[in-house]
Amino acid sequence: RYYEYMFGHSWRGRRGRGPLAALAEPELSQLQVVIEAGDPGCDRHPDLSSNEAYHLTVTQPVAYLKAYEVWGALRGLETFSQLVHEGDYGSFLVNESEINDFPRFAHRGVLLDTSRHYLPLKSILTNLDAMAFNKFNVLHWHIVDDQSFPYQSIYFPELSDKGAYSSNLIYTPTDVRLVIEYARLRGIRVIPEFDTPGHTQSWGKGQKDLLTPCYNGKQPTGSFGPVNPILNTTYDFMAKFFKEISSVFPDAYIHLGGDEVDFTCWKSNPKVKEFMKKQGFGTDYAKLESYYVQNILDIVSSYNKGQMVWQEVFDHKAQLKPDTVVQVWMANNYAHELSSVTGAGFTAVLSAPWYLDYISYGQDWKKYYSVEPLNFPGSEKQKKLLIGGEACLWGEFVDATNLTPRLWPRASAVGERLWSSSNVTNLQDAYKRLTNHRCRML
Amino acid sequence: AENEPSWETPCTELLVYISTPGCDGFPNLDSKESYKLSISKGSMLLSADAIWGALRGLETFSQLIGRDENGTYYINETEIVDFPRFPHRGLLLDTSRHYLPLRAILETLDVMAYNKFNVFHWHIVDDPSFPYESSTFPELSKKGAFHAMTHVYTASDVRTVIEHARLRGIRVIAEFDTPGHTLSWGPGAPGLLTPCYMGKDPSGVYGPINPILNSTYQFVTRLFQEVSTVFPDFFLHLGGDEVDFTCWMSNPEIRAFMKEMGFGENYKKLESFYIQRLLDIVSSLGKGYIVWQEVFDNDVKLRPDTIIHVWKENAMQYLREMANVTRAGYQALLSAPWYLNRISYGQDWTEAYKVEPLDFEGSPEQKALVMGGEACMWGEYVDVTNLSPRLW
């Protein structure tokens, strides 16, 4: 695909050799790619500890790309393809260069939401290409939510049968495998998010008794709230469900959500109230939430998967595993939250300033670019716990008709912030490069 | 059987009756767009006074057709009498800030038709680029387009747009905005723009069109002669917005002219001087004109049939402007609350929908002077990669 990126879209003449005089100019005929590790990783999936560093030397007649693992080679190929530019008269040029590059942050992600609006496979794959152009290495797939359940589960087919927008707006196991492999070939991890106990309205359609029935006084109202945390059947279901998820998604991490749990329904349900009393939780429903979350964390841990959670799970004092990753998303005083999370010894991923679904008029990429993730009070050790960030494109107002122009090239600003050194901050310089980069991406 | 669906009667024909066809003509401000649609068992009839109404009716008819779970197409029994509230329902596209390929314009015209828009306001040139290929002055696009071969509208392209629009009952009103917004005209028309000065010497930078030279008016006459022939609509949009006086003020020859004419320090008078001559030229070519509100605000002497385009939005001040414009007896077009290029998060369509164009203090005669309005999609941040989802 890199050959296509470099030479394929020339409208001035494809692969034409210039006039004879061109032979007198220094010519680059080969890019040699060397991957040094004994096990380069070509058959494995990328992970948080993957080595993405590379060394690129462009001289004539042969250029060298050296990386320790294949993941670094991919990043280097991306850079090399961006160095090749068209000269006049249909020739392709590349400047003599010496590049030693590696990412500042190891977790550089994009969140896509396929529940508020279904995104056809093509959209997702195109987006993975764009992510690779910008050296993103995590696709955070917020695959289900209140509005729809497009994930076709093998153990629980009713979930998508009853919960998807329609029978053709689903992701079959084949679709999911395709996304994971397409991502893998670009050095991109796929971290699925099955957000519970809130954001689960669509789960209730295909799984009876999973959600909490809300009450008005003594009568059920007919509507449902978050996942019911007091029933054993809930945990039986979750154990089986996450067993499937753990085997379908090869990444070491699963995102368990845990955000925005509305306690109103729980508070209205007499059996839940009884349970609260029995457990000695008083009227603190955050404790009930944590009780639920802890059980899920245990379940998922037993399948040898690490967990990512939204910040509320930490804020409400659930007992997390030491390697749980906390995603900070609330915009209000997020620096303070980063201090708290890392201060408590947990790794953090930053999304709060990068909600790209919040569009606004003009060059808003500048405000994304100007974020300095480590600008929070904390020790050196704490700051090491901030492993990266994610640009989020929530789907309330996004579908295949507007995804690409809405996400890109604004997300490129986030991509550079997460890869490049902290001193690469000049907006005018970034503007010049970003405009070129955008045209290249087109 | 008793439970057969009542739409067993297949309807195979929509009869279209037009009392005064005029299919070969162009739509205009007075075109009749009313229609009647009668759908009943066994007969479907669309009748209109003019072809333009038939088009609107066909659009409605096509939107009434549904499809059930078995794949059967159906239509409900319906009786519709429909006509537009405002005769000028327009959309502005800006092909100067970013070039829009022909297919983007044609696609936009299609979607305009779905929404019964009937004016395409083509803001074709501006500061950043001059994509209009002029037969009289080929250098304008040669030197002024982003790329003289790939980022231009040839005479054939323009004809294609006009015809594609006509077939959808859409008027094409071209805007050649002057005297400001003309930087791209400079390279292809040396001597047209005002040289700005830094003290006694030209700074090398240019400003608006130079209003004091005879050559300017010769140029303008010839250009608009061509534009008047190329674009068949009666109206041309002449712009006239956001004229920055700084450059004029810096130029010694212009200052001398100001003195000569007794304009004092009031550069609005110089702007008016230019605009008045421009309006005269365009009138003599047999065209009517639309201008941005500054032309009215700056007290330029206008013909009574000038249409004023209200665009400045500042805390609902536009309603005040609408009142002023119509009170002075001019027809008005509203765009101020409909700058769709100013995107924002969420369902901002509701703000556009809630606008009531006649919500200002004025007599019924005044309000009758409001011809309609235009949604504007300025191109600073828009090109073919994001035009459609941003606009619709």
Give the mean model confidence (pLDDT) for residues A9-34: 64
Nearest to A397 among B346, B388, B390 (CB): B346
Q: Does A357 touch chain B (CB under 8 A)?
A: yes
pLDDT of res. B242:
95
> Residue range A181-199: average pLDDT?
98
Q: Is the pLDDT of residue A2 over 80?
A: yes
Decide if pLDDT at A21 tops 50.
no
Q: b/e map of A296-324 (b: 16 or more CB within 10 Å)?
A: bbebbeeeebbbbbbbbbbbbebebeeeb
CATH number of A25-101: 3.30.379.10
Please name the amino acid found at residue B355. V
Could you tell me which of B106, B98, B95, B229 has the C-alpha nearest to residue B160? B106
Average pLDDT of the residues in A84-95: 88
Residue B364: pLDDT above 80?
yes
Q: What is the pLDDT of residue A11?
A: 52
- What does the pLDDT read at residue B220? 98
Q: At residue B269, does pLDDT exceed 60?
A: yes
Shortest distance between the Cα of B322 and any Cα of chain A, in A, equals: 26
What's the mean pLDDT in B363-378?
98
Beta-carbon contacts of B240 under 8 Å, excluding residues fewer than 6 positions away, are B177, B178, B179, B180, B271, B275, B291, B292, B294, B295, B300
DSSP B66-120: EE-TTS-EE---EEEEE--S-SEEEEEEESSSS---HHHHHHHHHHHHHTT--EE
Tallying the residues shown for chain A, one arrives at: 442
* DSSP H or E run through A291: helix A285-302
H/E stretch holding B19 reads strand B15-20
DSSP characters over B282-329: HHHTT-EEEEEHHHHHTT----TT-EEEE---STTHHHHHHHHHHHTT
pLDDT of residue A420 exceeding 70, the answer is yes
Class of domain A107-441: alpha beta
Q: What is the pLDDT of residue B9?
A: 67
CA torsion through residues B178, B183, B187, B192, sign: positive
Facing B389 at nearest CB: one of A358, A405, A442: A405
pLDDT tens, residue by residue, B314-355: 877 999 999 999 999 999 999 999 999 999 999 999 999 999
| Average model confidence (pLDDT) across chain B | 95
What whole-number distance in Å separates Cα of residue A288 and Cα of residue A261?
Answer: 11
User: Which run of H or of E encompasses A184?
Assistant: helix A173-184
From chain A, the residues in CB contact with B345 under 8 A are: 357-360, 397
pLDDT surpasses 60 at A218: yes
Q: What is the pLDDT of residue A15?
A: 47
- Rounded to 5 degrees, what angle do the CA atoms A198, A262, A284 make? 115
Q: What's the whole-number mean pLDDT along residues B154-182? A: 98
At B314 the pLDDT is 83
Residue A297 φ/ψ, nearest 5 degrees: -60, -40
* d(C-alpha B119, C-alpha B90), whole Å: 4
Sign of the dihedral through C-alpha A72, A74, A79, A83? positive
pLDDT for the residue B6: 54
Q: How confident is residue B11, by pLDDT bands cut at 50, 70 and 90?
A: confident
- Checking if the pLDDT of A414 tops 80, the result is yes
Choose between A12 and B23: higher pLDDT.
Answer: B23
Q: State what percent of residues in chain A have pLDDT above 90.
A: 92
Residue B286 burial (10 A CB sphere; 0-12, 13-18, 19+):
exposed
Nearest to B310 by CA among B238, B355, B373, B243: B373
Burial A32-67 (b: 16+ CB within 10 A, else e): ebebeeeebbeeebbbbebbbbbbbebeeeebebbb
The domain segmentation of chain B, as residue ranges, is 15-82, 88-391
Q: Is B389 on the interface with A (CB under 8 A)?
A: yes
Give B69-87 pLDDT, tens digit per residue: 899 999 999 999 999 999 9
Mean of per-residue pLDDT scores for chain A: 95
Is the confidence at residue B191, as pLDDT, over 50?
yes
pLDDT at B301: 83
Question: Which residues of chain A neighbour B347 with C-beta distances below 8 Å?
Answer: 397
Q: Which helix H or strand E contains A58, and what residues bound it?
A: strand A54-58
pLDDT digits (tens, 9 = 90+) for A99-147: 999 999 999 999 999 999 999 999 999 999 999 999 999 999 999 999 9
Does residue A9 register a pLDDT over 50? yes
Length of chain B: 392
Host H or E run for residue A270: helix A270-279
Mean pLDDT on A2-8: 88
Query: Which positions in chain A touch B341 (Cβ < 8 Å)?
Result: 361
What are the two backbone dihedrals, phi and then psi, of residue B83, each rounded to the nearest 5 degrees?
Answer: -160, 155
Strand bridging mode A107-113 / A138-142: parallel
What's the pLDDT at B123? Answer: 98
Q: How many CB pairs under 8 A join A and B?
A: 31
Answer whether residue B56 shows pLDDT above 50: yes
Each residue of B103-152: pLDDT tens digit?
999 999 999 999 999 999 999 999 999 999 999 999 999 999 999 999 99
Residue recorded with tokens 């009666």: B234
pLDDT band at B22 (very low <50, low <70, confident <90, very high): confident
Out of 3.40.1160.10, 3.20.20.80, 3.10.270.10, 3.40.50.300, the CATH code matching B88-391 is 3.20.20.80
Q: Tell me, what's the pLDDT at B8?
A: 60
Picking from B20, B45, B44, the residue whose alpha carbon sits closest to that of residue B32 is: B20
Question: Is B15-82 CATH 3.40.50.970?
Answer: no
d(C-alpha B176, C-alpha B184), whole Å = 12
Mean pLDDT of B156-185: 98
Token match 């080679």: residue? A73
Domain range list for chain A: 25-101, 107-441
Question: What pLDDT, on a 0 to 100 scale, did the predictor assign at position B267?
Answer: 95
Of A27-36, A345-354, A398-407, the least confident: A27-36
Cβ separation of A442 and B385 shorter than 8 Å?
yes
- Of A25 and A154, the structure prediction assigns the larger pLDDT to A154
Neighbours of A164 (CB within 10 A): 23
Q: Chain B closest CA to A50's CA: distance in Å?
A: 35
- Of the pLDDT bands very low, low, confident and very high (cuts 50, 70, 90), residue A19 is very low
pLDDT in tens, A243-275: 999 999 999 999 999 999 999 999 999 999 999
Confidence category of residue A8, pLDDT binned at 50, 70, 90: confident
CA B47 – CA B25 distance, rounded (Å) = 19
Separation CA A159–CA B361 (nearest Å): 58
Q: Which is nearest to B175 in space by CA: B217, B216, B130, B211? A: B130
Q: Exactly one of B77, B242, B351, B361 is catalytic; which is it?
A: B242
> Residue A68 pLDDT more than 90?
yes
Q: Give the largest Cα separation in chain A, rounded.
A: 91
Note the ipTM here.
0.91
Q: Compute the nearest-CA separation of A218 from chain B (Å).
A: 38
Chain B within 8 Å of A435 (Cβ-Cβ)? no
Give helix A121-133 / helix A70-83 axis angle, nearest 10°.
80
For chain B, what percent of residues have pLDDT higher than 70? 98
CB contact under 8 A, A397 and B386: no
In the structure encoding, which two tokens stand for residue A208, read together? 């009876």
pLDDT at B283: 96
Cα A352 versus chain centre, distance: 14
Of residues B22 and A281, more confidence is placed in: A281
Q: Is the dihedral of CA B226, B229, B233, B235 positive or negative?
A: positive
* Residue B275 pLDDT class (50, 70, 90 cuts): very high
B187 pLDDT more than 80: yes
B19 touches chain A (CB under 8 A): no
Contacts of A402 in chain B (CB under 8 A): 386, 389-390
Residue B241 reports pLDDT greater than 80: yes
| Long-range pairs of A250-253 with CB within 8 A, sequence gap ≥ 24 | A250/A45, A250/A180, A251/A45, A251/A47, A251/A189, A251/A190, A251/A191, A251/A192, A252/A47, A252/A48, A252/A305, A252/A306, A253/A48, A253/A189, A253/A191, A253/A305, A253/A306, A253/A307, A253/A308, A253/A325
A355 to chain B, closest Cα gap in Å: 11
**Residue by residue, what is the 3-state secondary structure of A199-246?**
CCCCHHHHCCCCEEEEEECCEEEEEEEEECCCCHHHHHHHHHHHHHHH
Measure the CA–CA gap between A366 and A374, rounded to whole angstroms: 18
Stretch A200-206: mean pLDDT: 98
* Beta carbons of A406 and B345 less than 8 Å apart: no
Asked if the Cβ–Cβ distance from B385 to A360 is below 8 Å, we say: no
| pLDDT for B5 beyond 60 | no
Catalytic (active site) residue A260: yes
